[in-house]
Amino acid sequence: MDFLDLVANRESIRDYDSEKLIPEQILFKILEAGRLAPSACNLQPWKFVVVSSRQKLEEVRTTYSRSWFAEAPHILIVVGNSTQSWVRSDGYNSIETDLAIAMDHIILAAESLSVGTCWVGNFDYAALKKVLNLDKDEVVFAMTPLGYTKSGFRKKGQKSRKKMAEIVHFI
């Protein structure tokens, strides 16, 4: 599929069939897109946590309480370590950008394999960090459900975006 079609077709999915698990080889293809993502100085300061067990799913769901989120059979969480990422001379640390690139690759790879996602950033940060039992230097960045939609689901098929002329400047 053409990349622009992929981008245009991707939507945040909030309709998951809890019974339809993602085959392992599909999961690994999605993770591979994150693994191959670029990062500042190629430091790859990330971990990808795939939550599929009943107990851990229940714990993670408490950190973002939405009925549609609770139906996803898998949740993928991107975790980072800011002591492993690049630091610019003015003190800027690349960790957030590195993790955003990996997550964006993962979201687009899932779309290309007809797996639904929804980038979630509005979770209870402290609670999720505790559920994942992270080391002190590790940070939780973002998470997404991974799953297939229920039968009969239809995408909206259109995006609301600013016009090109509002956001592009040629100089």
Please report, as ranges, the residues that interact with a second copy according to CB under 8 A. 1-4, 6-8, 10, 12, 28-29, 31-33, 35-38, 40, 42, 44, 46-53, 56, 86, 88, 90, 92, 94, 96-97, 100-101, 104-105, 107-109, 111-112, 119, 121-122, 125, 142, 159-162, 164, 167-171
Are 148 and 19 a contacting pair, CB within 8 Å?
no
C-alpha span between 32 and 49 (Å, rounded): 13
* Cα 55 to the center of its chain, rounded Å: 21
C-alpha span between 149 and 14 (Å, rounded): 8
Are 155 and 9 a contacting pair, CB within 8 Å?
yes
CB of 31 to a second copy, least distance (A): 6
Query: With respect to a second copy, which residue has the nearer C-beta, 8 or 20?
Result: 8
Strands 138-146 and 46-51: unpaired
Q: Which two tokens stand for residue 139?
A: 């940070």
CB of 145 to a second copy, least distance (A): 15
CB of 136 to a second copy, least distance (A): 17
CB of 6 to a second copy, least distance (A): 6
Are 87 and 40 a contacting pair, CB within 8 Å?
no
Query: With respect to a second copy, which residue has the nearer C-beta, 62 or 151?
Result: 62
Query: With respect to a second copy, which residue has the nearer C-beta, 42 or 151?
Result: 42
